[in-house]
Amino acid sequence: MNDLKTVTKTYSKYINSIPKAREFFNR
């Protein structure tokens, strides 16, 4: 189940980066 933790961490990091990207493209 260690890979599940890694996937969750990566996924949350990706989710957190989406708003920044949208802000960047909306300018």
pLDDT at 1: 62
**Which 8-state DSSP code applies to residue 1?**
-
Tokens representing 9? 């961490």
* DSSP per-residue codes, 1-27: -HHHHHHHHHHHHHHHHHHHHHHHHH-
The pLDDT score that the predictor gives to residue 9 is 92
Question: What are 1-27's pLDDT values in tens digits?
Answer: 678 899 899 989 988 898 888 888 887
